[in-house]
Amino acid sequence: MDLLSVPAGRPLSVRALCSAGEHLGFPENAVRVALTRLVRQGKIEKVGRGAYAVHPSQLPLINDVAHWRSRLDWMGPWDGGWIAVASPSMPAAQRTAQRRHDRALDLRGFRAWRPGFHVRPDNLIGGAEALSKQLAHLGLAEGAEVVALKPLRHDQTQDVAFLWDVGALHHAYGELLAQVEGSLRRQPTLELGAAARESLLLGRTVIARLARDPLLPDALMKGDARHRLVQAMDAYQQASRSVWEALITPSDQQA
């Protein structure tokens, strides 16, 4: 899924996927079984003779995550207001819909303040109206209400501010930054397959973290930890792309 998602919609041949899988420690048969299972689950589709691509139903999420570089540009000034999502009660049988709903809220940095009531600072460009459209696109449950709130009372603001563990975010970004910088320095010395494997595993970890950054305003999260990690990851991905291009050759793609 990672290989087919970069860039989203680009088909890859079975040979290319099996070749990549071999370098990542997966035998050819395991890759072919995984492809069959992913097709059955509706996550990928066969688009030609021996070629696969991400299923269109997966593209909203994949495209959203793919914007990890520009997420910091979504932030605007914060006047102390908040945006809330009041979630409908969903039957236990609707577990898939509930997971999509929760994932949509997580991807936009919402945290549960009260049961069925999630909040985040109103500092994203476009406000509640833009967020409502984005959340619906990402899988927000039908019937959920997205509303803008006036600044909360001082005691409520203090209570809500602790929903995000800012210290843990700074620590995680510092650790990931060190790993990215270390891997980038080490990459030229590694065997091609080892470099590809390391870049894929580390890259997916960093991008998953950045894609779920709550984008808190400076009043709640000071410092440039996010910005530094984005810059380092951008350079790392550029270097890693050449590794993967060398690993998956044009002849593989055409087979």
Indicate whether 43 belongs to any domain.
yes
CATH label of the domain that carries residue 121: 3.30.70
Same domain, 112 and 144: yes
Indicate whether 154 belongs to any domain.
yes
pLDDT of res. 16: 86
**Would you say 112 and 118 are in contact if contact means Cβ atoms under 8 Å apart?**
yes
Indicate whether 140 belongs to any domain.
yes
Same domain, 36 and 101: no
DSSP string, 198-252: HHHHHHHHHHHHHHT-----TTTS-SSHHHHHHHHHHHHHHHHHHHHHHHS-HHH
Query: Over the stretch 28-67, which tens digit does the pLDDT of each residue have?
Result: 999 999 999 999 998 999 988 889 998 888 888 888 888 8
The residue range of the domain holding 83 is: 74-161
> 142, 161, 180: which is the final residue of a domain?
161
Indicate whether 189 belongs to any domain.
yes
Indicate whether 3 belongs to any domain.
no
Same domain, 157 and 183: no
Indicate whether 4 belongs to any domain.
no
Same domain, 26 and 96: no
Question: How wide is the angle at C-alpha 103 spanned by C-alphas 108 and 203, nearest 5°?
Answer: 80
Closest CA to 107 of 255, 214, 206, 180: 214
- Residue 167 token pair: 């210290």
Indicate whether 243 belongs to any domain.
yes
How many structural domains are present in the chain? 3
> 113, 134, 161: which is the final residue of a domain?
161
Gap between the Cα atoms of 255 and 239, Å rounded: 26
Same domain, 206 and 153: no
Indicate whether 6 belongs to any domain.
no
Question: How wide is the angle at C-alpha 23 spanned by C-alphas 17 and 24, nearest 5°?
Answer: 85
Gap between the Cα atoms of 242 and 228, Å rounded: 22
pLDDT of res. 7: 59
Same domain, 172 and 153: no
**HEC string for 124-169:** ECCHHHHHHHHHHHHCCCCCCEEEEECCCCHHHHHHHHCCCCHHHH
pTM passes above 0.95? no
Q: At what angle do helices 95-107 and 127-138 cross, to 10 degrees?
A: 140
pLDDT of res. 254: 40
Gap between the Cα atoms of 213 and 33, Å rounded: 34
Amino acid in the structure at residue 48: G
Same domain, 140 and 93: yes
> From the CB of residue 52, how many other CB atoms can be counted at a distance below 10 Å?
21
**Would you say 11 and 53 are in contact if contact means Cβ atoms under 8 Å apart?**
yes
Same domain, 210 and 172: yes
Same domain, 111 and 143: yes
Q: What is the mean pLDDT of each run of 10 residues along the chain (255 residues)?
A: 73 87 87 94 88 88 88 94 93 88 96 96 96 95 94 91 95 97 95 90 94 95 93 94 75 42
Same domain, 89 and 138: yes
> 134, 161, 188: which is the final residue of a domain?
161
